[in-house]
Amino acid sequence: MLLVAQTGNPMKQDIIIIVAMTRRGVIGNGNALPWHLPEDLRHFKRETRGNTVVMGENTYRSIGKPLPERNNIVISPDRRSGGGITVCRDLPTALGTAQSFGKKIFIIGGAYTYEKALPYADYLYISHIKKDYEGNVYFPEFDPDRWEVISSEEYDDFCFKKYKRR
């Protein structure tokens, strides 16, 4: 399988990282979201429904079940496929499996999976949370000069921006 980092990818479906984070990059507190923003959750659902979601083991555990109306891929060294999830041992295998579904591919967390997926991402969909929240899990650093804002939507508690790799 051929995956090309940094320069885009030769695969058919776009790879999209979708995340909500504070100005300081907080994305979690322990194994949970530090906020409860129903509008952001509805937005996440609208964006990912009918597509493929790829997540790490901890993210899957925090959700507790497969997300409905989506192909769910979990990256885990120990878990087995079944019960609504497809398990892959590493990110390249997960991305190849995700391509086989023929749908948009959303990377939904956690921090380690985001870090490993960032070089493959074509788009970043970021809900920029307006309020600061305490947390101990952060989105990895990335070069904003490599990304162009292609759309922006304002909500009461967050601003949702789509970025495309330059």
Residues 6+ apart with CB under 8 A from 138: 21, 24, 25, 26, 27, 111
Domain count, the chain: 1
pTM given for the model: 0.91
pLDDT above 60 (res 40) = yes
106 in Cβ contact with 53 (< 8 Å)? yes
pLDDT at 12: 73
CATH number at residue 122: 3.40.430.10
* Domain membership of residue 59 as a residue range: 15-165
pLDDT at 128: 98
**pLDDT for 87-142, tens place per residue?**
999 999 999 999 999 999 999 999 999 999 999 999 999 999 999 999 999 999 99
Residues 68 and 84: their CA atoms lie apart, in Å, by 9
Q: At 61, which helix (H) or strand (E)?
A: helix 57-63
pLDDT above 60 (res 4) = no
Flag whether 26 is in a domain.
Answer: yes
Give percent of the chain above pLDDT 90.
91
